[in-house]
Structure 1
Amino acid sequence: MSSTRILQPGEIESFSAEIPRLLLPDAQIFATRAERLRRIAPGHSLGDYLTFVAAIADWQQEALATSVDRTPKLEAAHLAHCAERDVPPLAPQGLIRDPGWRNQVRALAERLAPTAPVQAQAVLERLRAGSDDWLETQAEALLALDLDQVDIAASAILAAVLQVQWTALARTLDPSRLAIQPTERHLCPICGSHPSVSAVRTGGASDGLRYLVCSLCASHWYLERTKCSNCDNMRAIGYHTVENPDSAIRAESCPECRTYLKILYQTLNPDLEPTADDLASLALDWLMSEEGYGRSGVNLMLLQG
């Protein structure tokens, strides 16, 4: 008598040699984000902030578009060195930032000031008047997620500019020349940053596959389904929603490390955008906190000290 074993999603996907392991950021990533934010902001309890982040994303898209001709490609020797050692080629500690990012921070703060809420004006003025040394210190702390040293109120503006720089750099890379299975699989293989969420994608070669989404450079890297994105545990993974158990946005929890990461099912709602819908689903974060789980992901548009 023969028996049949039902394969789990991760096992099914592991049989395919055609899985795209790494997806670099799209050229319209910030425009897509801004559009999604404006679509979900009306009537939302965080509507004003979502609209504010949409304005930031507008600037990010313009800055990314103008960076195309100014972003240098990494040297082949650096890429080879990183590939040999499974080191992310865009790890912040291994790169020298373009000093022009500081003026971009000031320009973004200046642009946002006329329409920003009153409570944000002092922060924007602090950024406009910030010295080069202060901005560099803030960038170092933010990239290291040393939140005790980060000006949390100003962090979204600082992060927005850094995201543009790293996204532009990521778009110059060739995935075939990169180490895409780093030792720490829960961190981005491009820049070593934490994911913001994971997403089950729809369409093309990645249809139905789950990817972690980088909080800094916006790259996507493949991870099997029903596996903890923080510790690789595959036992008793839980899925949580605020109300609708069939929601396209869920929290995937791990009983081993007691962390969670949101998972966005774009197969159920192709309009979902990682940063926007993560911000719009803070009620799920509150639920998971009440249940004793810590968040393993990071959304640089809304850090909590």
Structure 2
Amino acid sequence: MPDYSALMADWQALLARRPALSEPLRFWTAILEGWAAWKPPATPVPLHWTAEECRRRWERGLPLLAEATPAIAAASVEDLLGPVMERLAADGPEAAAALRRLALAWDEGEVAPAALLPAPDRDPVAFLQERFGLGSHLGAFLGPASLRPALETYLEAVRELPDGLWTRGACPWCGGAPAYGDLVEDGRRRLSCHLCGGAWIAARLRCPFCESWNSRDLVRLVAEELEEGYFIEACRACRGYIKGVDRRQRWNAGPPLVEDWGSPHLDLYAAREGYWRTTPSLAHLLPPDGEGDPT
């Protein structure tokens, strides 16, 4: 099973650096504490494909979960899913009603953990919106918050990705959208997935969302709150954006998840500039005027 002690230590270090954000970031602290305490009654059996079996899927442009859905027992993730649903219900009466409908369907076995995973023919966030009326800004939280430990366990034996084999913006393991984009020590771009914990090298001059190669569509947003080495990359074509850090300048920056979750003020800036992200952000929990405590 994954060990989140190092991630928790990095998170606490970020909170110490940004004390003004410690209160709103309680939302993520609770999720990380849940991951660290995860002791499921049934642990997913890891995927044991050979390197060649993985390669064949990646050469076809398929993430591994497209043909290897994990058998995750509902009971094994309920201690993670339940609390985050309770916190999201505070978004308002409509959200609370939608989450009650989801909880009832879950309890009756009509919805399983696999419904929260991306698939070639299904967007889990769109499914939750269509089936239960749950807003996409809320539905995006459920998969990463509840399934991350189970997916890391399931995929731990198939993390070796040959250089240059995967060219898509989506995660090569679970198919999720990238949530953060570092520049690593050799100048290459590394995308990270918060759903399963995967990280992979991707083209710097390509939008990871619409996969446009038109360099004129790519822009860096400049916010007053940006510290040296941090950046927001956006695409004028699809209006998607991704935050990142240049680790050649910020060699002591934390893990991608920590840096992403710890900078909701940058998400708020990008949203005000008219850009979006499909992965969850505390900025999605703010009222329309952008003020208030998202927790």
TM-score over 0.5 (shorter chain): yes
1:187 equivalent in structure 2: 170
Higher gyration radius (CA): 1
Question: Normalised by the size of structure 1, how large is the TM-score?
Answer: 0.66
Give the 3 Å change call, closer, same or farther, for CA 64–32 of structure 1 in structure 2.
farther
**Equivalent in 277, 280, 297 of residue 259 of structure 2:** 277
1:37 equivalent in structure 2: 11
- Structure 2 counterparts to residues 94-243 of structure 1, below 5 A: 94-100=67-73, 102-108=74-80, 130-133=106-109, 135-136=111-112, 140-141=115-116, 143=118, 144=123, 145-146=125-126, 148-149=129-130, 151=134, 156=141, 158-173=143-158, 175=160, 180-182=165-167, 185-202=168-185, 207-230=186-209, 231-235=212-216, 237-243=218-224
> Shift of the alpha carbon at 1:218?
1.6
Residue ranges of structure 2 left out of the alignment (5+ in a row)? 287-295
Residue ranges of structure 1 left out of the alignment (5+ in a row)? 1-25
2:60 equivalent in structure 1: 85
Matched, 1:263 2:226: no
1:14 equivalent in structure 2: none
Superposition CA RMSD, Å: 4.2
1:48 equivalent in structure 2: 23
Matched, 1:292 2:271: no
Task: Flag the structure with more relative contact order, 1 or 2, with Cα contacts below 8 A and sequence separation at least 6.
Answer: 1
Write the distance in 1 (CA, Å) between the matches of 2:78 and 2:117.
17
Write the distance in 1 (CA, Å) between the matches of 2:83 and 2:269.
36
> Shift of the alpha carbon at 1:31?
3.1
Q: Work out whether residues 41 and 76 of structure 2, in 8 Å CA contact, stay in contact via their aligned partners in 1.
A: no
Q: Work out whether residues 183 and 190 of structure 2, in 8 Å CA contact, stay in contact via their aligned partners in 1.
A: yes
Q: How many residues align?
A: 263
3-state SS of the aligned residue for 2:243?
Answer: strand
String of CA shifts for 1:162-209, please: whole Å, max 9, x gaps. 112222222211525799325xx111122211100111224xxxx432
Task: Give the letter for the 1:279 counterpart.
Answer: W
Q: Work out whether residues 200 and 208 of structure 1, in 8 Å CA contact, stay in contact via their aligned partners in 2.
A: yes
1:247 equivalent in structure 2: 228
Give the 3 Å change call, closer, same or farther, for CA 234–161 of structure 1 in structure 2.
same
3-state SS of the aligned residue for 1:133?
Answer: coil
Question: Normalised by the size of structure 2, how large is the TM-score?
Answer: 0.68
Task: Give the letter for the 1:180 counterpart.
Answer: L
Alignment identity in percent?
Answer: 21
String of CA shifts for 1:128-180, please: whole Å, max 9, x gaps. 985052552x7515642215256566864653331122222222115257993
Q: Work out whether residues 220 and 234 of structure 2, in 8 Å CA contact, stay in contact via their aligned partners in 1.
A: yes
